[in-house]
Amino acid sequence: MSKGTERKLIVGLDIGTSNVKAIVGELLNDNSISIVGLGSHASKGMDKGGVNDLNLVVQSVKRAVHEM
């Protein structure tokens, strides 16, 4: 990627007991953030804030990111 097309991206991920949410924003020249992607999916593999099944959690994160 050339210097002229380099983008400054900020990524947030919230893994909760009921939902997984992912958001991607781009930092603009005026220091504002433009949201370029947002995804959400039901959380699986979590119980009371703890991980019960890591594979199910990973699948939930992938699905939230795929919805962007």
Answer whether 18's CB lies under 8 Å from 57's CB.
no
- Which of residues 44 and 1 earns the better pLDDT score? 44
pLDDT tens-digit readout, 24-34? 999 999 999 99
Domain ranges of the chain: 3-66
Reported as a single tens digit per residue, the pLDDT across 17-26 is 999 999 999 9
pLDDT band at residue 5, thresholds of 50, 70 and 90? confident
List 14's β-bridge partners, or say none. Answer: 21
CATH classification (class only), 3-66: alpha beta
Burial of 29 (0-12, 13-18, 19+ CB in 10 A): exposed
pLDDT at residue 21 in the model: 96
Alpha-carbon gap, residue 50 to 68, rounded angstroms: 25
